[in-house]
């Protein structure tokens, strides 16, 4: 294996690969050009599995769609629809759980599904914000699955099992996707023995949601829900190691009417335009990847192929380019379940020299002690320079499934009210963090180009706090709004290109199996992740 260039801007790496590598060929140059084309494709962000009070959950559907529009390109809000092998009489401890499921299914069939579909259809805005209908099927034996529908007139079928669900939907344009895969088999964990290889109905799996991460049985985001711990047999690596081919994505599985809730899981689709046909075709080809929350820009190609593709070849020219939203911890190139190359981000870094500095700055709002929501209204503004882009980091309430005694609440929708090249005006609601491991803050990432002495000011709720870019490169700053144990504003340490960008090109000519698989995993220092769909090389 030969590494050609690492941790440099993309185009420098491409030039090094094509002009400085003595082993380079015309095909190498073509691979580089193809990688540029892939990298320039649109990356559209959505959440195709989340819940509100249409069945069981919190928040109205109308508010859920409004929340989705604030930080997503497309979404499907998902009713819970059926559970063919529900353990109705097996354990009296479960009677309350069984009852709320059965009640939700009945309400959906008594006119709820038709009203839901009509609302999703009326909310579709071609080229601006796209909606899909969906519904969820639980299964003890096969694991839970989400039906994503291309057409709004897809019926709510009545299956006796997950395989029967898929058979009853053969005549319709749907994707049927397993989720929270890592639970114990027989207890709603995924049954890989039933995975349908080369079935166009199941091109991808959901490896991350509020339930946790099912990449493996170890690592970040353990399964903590009362449904039980994660196990290896339900994991993505187990499926890949058994020769299955599938794309990787994430969804929130959020139960509080907030599609795309930051940090809970999202899908990214590589397509030429924000068009339903384009997105649907790309999802079917596995041209997708998963992120926990941050819009991490992941570009990955082998011999000119896109993530999700199956190709042939003994020599593999691997291109990777990542632009994160925060400081990169590391980027792994995984081959057959093992990291063959790790790009480490900087443990520390200085502000780049120059009259203008390209940087990213995250500002967070929250930490209040009281149960009541804090309403934030105000503006982030630069004294000089320019805001190149911004990323909202808006969270919904931290619900995953109903609990006894919970009462319905109205979703607080966070909004960007206005923006220009110098300012972003925000209207947000934060609540206290429910515990020391679960964040509930709201936030925004600003990508800026400004001079070291230019100032960023947060003007919220009648108070102003200001720092130069130079001061923000020195470290994180924070302010209580009403004294100790009150709500806070936090300016995170500014990140330079050195900290949030990583690129590499490597050659791998070592064939290990009849079919080798490769994928990219990206971890930021703040715990946000991205995972590409694999590329398989035969």
Q: What gap in Å lies between CA 43 and CA 32, rounded to an integer?
A: 19
In DSSP notation, 415-474 reads EEEEE-SSEEEEEEEE---SBTTB---EEEEEEEEE-TT-EEEEEETTEEEEEEHHHHHH
Alpha-carbon 217 to chain mean position? 20
pLDDT of 1: 53
Residue 354 Rama label (left phi>0; alpha psi -120 to 50; beta): left
The answer to whether residue 39 scores a pLDDT higher than 60 is yes
pLDDT of 419: 98
The answer to whether residue 387 scores a pLDDT higher than 80 is yes
Please write the tens of the pLDDT for every residue from 464-485.
Answer: 999 999 999 999 999 999 999 9
Longest dimension (CA), the chain: 71
pLDDT of 439: 94
Please write the tens of the pLDDT for every residue from 315-339.
Answer: 999 999 999 999 999 999 999 999 9
The answer to whether residue 91 scores a pLDDT higher than 50 is yes
CB 58 within 8 A of CB 403: no
Among 92, 94, 173, 169, smallest CA distance to 137 is for: 169
Highest mean pLDDT among 118-122, 193-197, 311-315, 430-434: 118-122
CB 95 within 8 A of CB 79: no
What is the CA angle 301-304-310, rounded to 5?
Answer: 75
The answer to whether residue 370 scores a pLDDT higher than 90 is no
- 352 secondary structure, DSSP code: P
The answer to whether residue 66 scores a pLDDT higher than 80 is yes
pLDDT mean across residues, the chain: 93
CB 120 within 8 A of CB 77: yes
- Rounded mean pLDDT, 221-228: 94
Indicate the SS3 state at residue 17.
helix
Among 494, 496, 535, smallest CA distance to 518 is for: 535
Q: What gap in Å lies between CA 331 and CA 342, rounded to an integer?
A: 6
CB 207 within 8 A of CB 181: yes
pLDDT band at 28 (very low <50, low <70, confident <90, very high): confident
The answer to whether residue 7 scores a pLDDT higher than 50 is no
Q: What gap in Å lies between CA 119 and CA 96, rounded to an integer?
A: 30
Q: What gap in Å lies between CA 273 and CA 287, rounded to an integer?
A: 13
Q: Which residue has the tokens 């936030």?
A: 443
pLDDT of 406: 74
**42 compared with 196, residue with greater pLDDT:** 42
């Amino acid at each position: 294996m030969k590494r050609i260039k690492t941790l440099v801007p993309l185009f420098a790496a491409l030039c090094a690969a094509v002009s400085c590598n003595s082993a380079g060929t015309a095909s190498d140059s073509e691979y580089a050009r193809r990688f540029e084309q892939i990298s320039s494709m649109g990356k559209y962000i959505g959440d195709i599995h989340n819940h509100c009070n249409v069945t069981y959950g919190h928040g109205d559907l109308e508010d859920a769609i409004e929340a989705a529009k604030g930080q997503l390109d497309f979404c499907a809000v998902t009713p819970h629809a059926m559970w063919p092998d529900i353990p109705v009489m097996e354990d009296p401890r479960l009677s309350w759980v069984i009852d709320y499921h059965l009640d939700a299914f009945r309400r959906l069939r008594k006119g709820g599904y038709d009203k839901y579909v009509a609302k999703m259809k009326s909310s579709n805005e071609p080229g601006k914000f796209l909606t899909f209908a969906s519904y969820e099927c639980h299964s003890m034996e096969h694991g839970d699955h989400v039906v994503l529908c291309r057409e709004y007139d897809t019926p709510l079928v009545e299956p006796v099992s997950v395989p029967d669900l898929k058979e009853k939907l053969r005549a319709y344009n749907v994707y049927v996707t397993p989720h929270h895969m890592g639970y114990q088999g027989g207890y709603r964990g995924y049954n890989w023995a039933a995975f349908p290889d080369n079935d166009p109905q199941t091109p991808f799996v959901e490896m991350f949601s509020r339930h946790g991460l099912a990449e493996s049985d170890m690592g970040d985001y353990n399964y903590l829900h009362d449904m039980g711990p994660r196990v290896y047999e339900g994991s993505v690596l187990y499926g890949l190691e058994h020769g299955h081919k599938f794309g990787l994505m994430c969804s929130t599985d959020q139960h509080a009417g907030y599609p795309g809730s930051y940090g809970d899981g999202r899908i990214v689709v590589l397509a030429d335009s924000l068009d339903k046909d384009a997105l649907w075709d790309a999802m079917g080809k596995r041209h997708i990847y998963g992120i926990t929350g941050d819009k991490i820009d992941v570009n990955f190609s082998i011999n000119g192929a896109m993530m999700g593709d199956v190709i042939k070849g003994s020599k593999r020219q691997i291109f990777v380019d990542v632009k994160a939203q925060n400081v990169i911890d590391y980027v792994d190139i995984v081959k057959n379940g093992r990291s063959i190359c790790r790009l480490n981000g900087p443990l520390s870094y200085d502000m780049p020299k120059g009259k203008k500095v390209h940087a990213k700055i995250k500002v967070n709002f929250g930490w209040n002690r009281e149960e009541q929501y804090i309403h934030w209204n105000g503006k982030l503004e630069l004294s000089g320079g320019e805001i190149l882009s911004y990323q909202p980091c808006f969270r919904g309430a931290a619900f995953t499934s109903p609990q006894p005694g919970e009462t319905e609440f109205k979703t607080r929708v966070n909004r960007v009210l206005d923006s220009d090249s110098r300012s972003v005006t925000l209207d947000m609601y934060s609540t206290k963090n429910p515990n020391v491991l679960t964040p509930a803050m709201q936030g925004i990432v600003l990508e800026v180009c400004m001079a070291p002495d230019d100032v960023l000011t947060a003007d919220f709720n009648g108070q102003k706090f200001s720092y130069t870019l130079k001061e923000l490169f020195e470290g994180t700053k924070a302010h209580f709004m009403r004294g100790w144990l009150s709500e806070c504003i936090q300016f995170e340490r500014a990140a330079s290109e050195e900290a949030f960008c990583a690129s590499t090109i490597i050659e791998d000519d070592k064939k290990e199996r009849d079919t080798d698989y490769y994928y990219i995993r990206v971890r930021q220092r703040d715990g946000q992740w991205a995972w590409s769909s694999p590329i398989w090389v035969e």
